[in-house]
Copies of this chain bind each other. A is one copy, B any other.
Amino acid sequence: MDLNYTKEEQAFRTEVRQWLKETLPRELREKVRLGKRLAKADMELWHSLLNARGWLAPNWPQAYGGCEWNAVQRHIFEEEACLVHAPRSLPFGLSMLAPVLLAFGSEDQRQRFLPRILNGQHWWCQGYSEPGAGSDLAAVKTRAVREGDHYVVNGQKTWTTLGQHANWIFCLVRTDPDAKKQEGISFLLIDMQTPGVTVRPIVLIDGEPEVNEVFFENVRVPAENLVGEENKGWTYAKYLLTHERTNIAGVGFSNALLTTLKHVAGRVKSGGQLLAENPHFAARMAQAEIDLMAMATTNLRVVSAAAKGQAPGAESSMLKVKGTVIRQELTSLLRRAMGPDALPFQPDFLDGGSNAAALGPDHAAAAAPTYFNMRKLSIFGGSNEVQRTIITKAILGL
């Protein structure tokens, strides 16, 4: 047992910290810190900065321009990045599609798509969920019918995050309608500029169109865009879902949120007393901090096992559930901390592209929208109910 990082890991942390300090643009940092929405250009800028340093793809092989960091290194990077309010890089191409291409794609596909993820030419989004399917991903209805050297795709995807900015989508499509539920599904890459693709934004409870519906009407997709074998898509989808879950606990995000919360509680007054000195509020913050301290170690235990090659099982689900609970609690506390100043809806200020002034103190404008937005954490990526079932099945085997 040893809670200390190795010298090499400490040096790596210093290097990351230094780079972030020198590279992260102040405006970008402020947007993230204040919970503003990032414009497309903001995200592209951050990707290009990471790419210039060679740090955009932590988990890819170096041969394809990745860092090949182990789980501990990735953890350190994420921790440092969150601490200074760096944006998160977008996972759709980097850590969702790429591992599938690396494991199941053809070399042609890797050569064609991976560099374009790095240089920003392709912005990927995910076409998994469909209306009425929810956490039951295998209930895919979108049809792809082979016609010569094309597939013709018809159907609809939903909950496609940031699909409004994307130019490519990876999709689960049904290629054999007669096969059993999990069979007959294929994994297809679709250029969203193809005629017949329509994107309709869905405004969420926080007032923002973060997700989208994507419609396919007789969309012709070259057969070379099929990943792996036809009708084996469910295997690849499951691989994607279980892969890359080391940051599932969101410890870095929660640490950043806790920092913000303490900052606010040290400035906002209630009944003439700083909120940080209000025993009830301080107790809730402390409770969350204590839970987070323990979860950070739970996370490191899993990370450290993963770095030694052990595959996390139900632990991922535990981290997902507890990580969600803590992060949602912190956003709830931050909202409550703002008092009446959490009331106004300020879309103009929150818009990453605008310079509108905010009503109320720092962090007030984003407090309620962030709280509402973060309700998604316990729903997406396998709802917490699904995770709880996974945990118990693993233990009870019933």
Residues of A with Cβ closer than 8 Å to B? 279-280, 283
Contacts and interface: CB of A to CB of B under 8 A. Distances in A.
A290 to B, nearest CB: 14
Contacts of A283: 279-280, 283
Contacts of A279: 279-280, 283
A345 to B, nearest CB: 31
Nearest to A279: B279
A280 B284 CA distance: 10
A279 B278 CA distance: 9
Number of chain copies forming the complex: 2
A283 B282 CA distance: 13
Contacts of A280: 279-280, 283
A280 B281 CA distance: 10
Nearest to A280: B283
A385 to B, nearest CB: 16
Nearest to A278: B279
A165 B12 CA distance: 74
A24 to B, nearest CB: 40
A102 to B, nearest CB: 45
Nearest to A283: B280
A283 B284 CA distance: 12
A231 B305 CA distance: 62
6 contacts: A279-B279, A279-B280, A279-B283, A280-B280, A280-B283, A283-B283
A261 to B, nearest CB: 19
A144 B91 CA distance: 69
A278 to B, nearest CB: 8
A91 B280 CA distance: 42
A265 B280 CA distance: 18
A363 to B, nearest CB: 25
List the 6 closest A-B pairs by CB distance, nearest first: A279-B279, A280-B283, A279-B280, A280-B280, A279-B283, A283-B283
A279 B280 CA distance: 7
A243 B283 CA distance: 44
A150 to B, nearest CB: 45
A154 to B, nearest CB: 34
A367 to B, nearest CB: 23
A73 to B, nearest CB: 41
A50 B283 CA distance: 48
A283 B279 CA distance: 10
A307 to B, nearest CB: 40
A279 B283 CA distance: 10
A87 to B, nearest CB: 38
A280 B283 CA distance: 8
A58 B283 CA distance: 47
A279 B281 CA distance: 10
A295 B280 CA distance: 24
A226 to B, nearest CB: 42
A59 to B, nearest CB: 44
A256 to B, nearest CB: 27
A285 to B, nearest CB: 13
